[in-house]
Amino acid sequence: MKKTMKKIVSGGLSLLALSSLFLSACGNGGSGKQGGKTTLTVWAWDVALKQLEEAGKVYQESHPDVELKFEEMGTDQIYKKLSTSLATGNGIADIICIEGEYLVGYADKFPEGFLDLSDIVEEKDFLPSKISEVKYNDKIQAFPWDAGPEALFYRTDYFEEAGVDAASLKTWEDLIEAGKKIEATCKTPSGDPVKMLPMDPRKTNFYTLMRSQLGKGAFDENGNPIVNSAESIQAMKEAAKVYESGVCLNYNGWDEYEQTVVNQSVACIPEAVWMIGTIKDKGPDTKGKWSVVDLPMISGGQYSCNNGGSDIVINAKTKSPDIAKDFLKFAMTDTKLQASGFENFGLYPSYIPSYEEEVFSKGDPFFGSTNVYTVFIENGKKVADIATSPNSLEANDSISAAVSKIFLNKEDVEKTMNDLQAELEGKFAKK
């Protein structure tokens, strides 16, 4: 969520500086009673903190005896502080925001670090993929918050000029053929041929998307790597096929990714819902020229994809567990607050009842008459229940290296994935 959170609001929002001193109320496993009030300390970053502060103001109207102290810090600073605090039991907040991809690592390393929230999380009310994300070792480790369901953003003007119907892109082969037509027909404002989509050949994003459509991760439910499974190899071959077709525009890093919108150099972008904010911020002159459809599907695929999102944990040693749970449940299930968080800060809620709020039914006029949110709402419900592993982030570096070998050096997919499997087994295989 580091990229998604800061980019959706203004495209240039950076993480605000962390105060050099932590509030003394944060020490010794929770805040507890202070001056006749119950004090809870909250750690979160930029827009996540702003949304929690808004929830806090509303909560305190009916709970004047609860004081909420909010500490703003970047994600890296939260994780550094969290690791130390969970190990020692000191200096930790009551409520902590954490990116979904990091949660299982902390839950595995510190199995008693977070409160079990099974009593306040009604699983059926949340996107299944988010429940899968927060559930580990038969315990709901965190309250699910925002999600990143994906779809295909596309330029309606480029598609129309090339005579391509976006609804006809059922497979990735369809996308390749459409990309060739668009490149032969359409020009950017600077006069260059328009490429079909952006791709970083050194990152796992596109391979991960393909693999997710097949309902597989890099690890199985027992924590063993499965990067040489039939599904994983199929996903890598399909991703390489799209890259090698020549319809992709190479980029390196987030800034260059944004420039594909600024320069109007691509006809479509397969990305999460939070890309709405980046497109609006970086391409204001393209209003009315974008729309959204489902992603093309890999052969045998049946699932949607997700990219990004965060959750919230409660320190198991908080002195006020019941009040912390009560506030968190309120903040995460009040549908008006969730809608406000999405509209103002780009935090797409995983709490399904939120979608009844008006903002989700009226859509966004920047994207024309089609309600851009409908596709994401439906896709969010169809993300596969993929096994999580505390080793996923560490393994990602090795997977990225394999992607680079295949995309840039044209190395054999099956051999590269078998070599990757052996490497990951050496590091992570369960004995």
- What pLDDT, in 10s, does the model give residues 151-179? 999 999 999 999 999 999 999 999 999 99
pLDDT at 16 over 50: no
Residues 336 and 421 in one domain: no
Pick the range with the lowest mean pLDDT from 11-20, 51-60, 316-325.
Answer: 11-20
- pLDDT at residue 25 in the model: 35
Confidence grade of residue 2 (pLDDT, cut at 50, 70, 90): very low
pTM above 0.75, yes or no: yes
Q: Which two tokens stand for residue 379?
A: 């896709």
Last residue within a domain, chosen from 369, 399, 416: 369
Q: Does residue 254 belong to any structural domain of this protein?
A: yes
Residues 337 and 232 in one domain: no
Q: Which two tokens stand for residue 181?
A: 């037509």
Residues 70 and 202 in one domain: no
Helix/strand number for the chain, H first, E second: 17, 10
Question: How many folded domains does the chain comprise?
Answer: 2
pLDDT digits (tens, 9 = 90+) for 96-117: 999 999 999 999 999 999 999 9
C-alpha–C-alpha distance, residues 200 and 167, integer Å: 25
pLDDT digits (tens, 9 = 90+) for 172-190: 999 999 999 999 999 999 9
Alpha-carbon separation of residue 55 from 184, 211, 220, 342 (angstroms): 51, 37, 38, 13
Mean model confidence pLDDT for the chain: 91
CB count within 10 Å of CB 12 equals 10
Confidence grade of residue 33 (pLDDT, cut at 50, 70, 90): low
**Contact (CB, 8 A) for 202 and 400:** yes
Residues 129 and 154 in one domain: no
Q: Which two tokens stand for residue 299?
A: 């052969």
pLDDT digits (tens, 9 = 90+) for 224-272: 999 999 999 999 999 999 999 999 999 999 999 999 999 999 999 999 9
65-80 mean pLDDT? 94
- pLDDT at residue 88 in the model: 86
pLDDT digits (tens, 9 = 90+) for 324-381: 999 999 999 999 999 999 998 889 999 999 999 999 998 899 998 889 999 999 999 9
Residues 35 and 74 in one domain: yes
Residues 339 and 397 in one domain: no
Between these two residues, 3 and 241, which has the higher pLDDT value? 241
Last residue within a domain, chosen from 338, 369, 400: 369
pLDDT at 12 over 60: no
Q: Which two tokens stand for residue 204?
A: 């796992």
Domain that holds residue 317: 2-147+309-369
Alpha-carbon separation of residue 117 from 112, 113, 234, 324 (angstroms): 13, 12, 38, 11
- pLDDT at residue 289 in the model: 97
**Contact (CB, 8 A) for 272 and 307:** yes
Percent of the chain with pLDDT over 90: 83
Residues 271 and 199 in one domain: yes
Residues 46 and 87 in one domain: yes
- pLDDT at residue 34 in the model: 58
pLDDT digits (tens, 9 = 90+) for 87-98: 887 899 999 999
- pLDDT at residue 370 in the model: 84
Give me the CATH number covering residue 324: 3.40.190.10
Residues 266 and 362 in one domain: no
- pLDDT at residue 388 in the model: 87
pLDDT at 193 over 90: yes
Q: Does residue 379 belong to any structural domain of this protein?
A: no
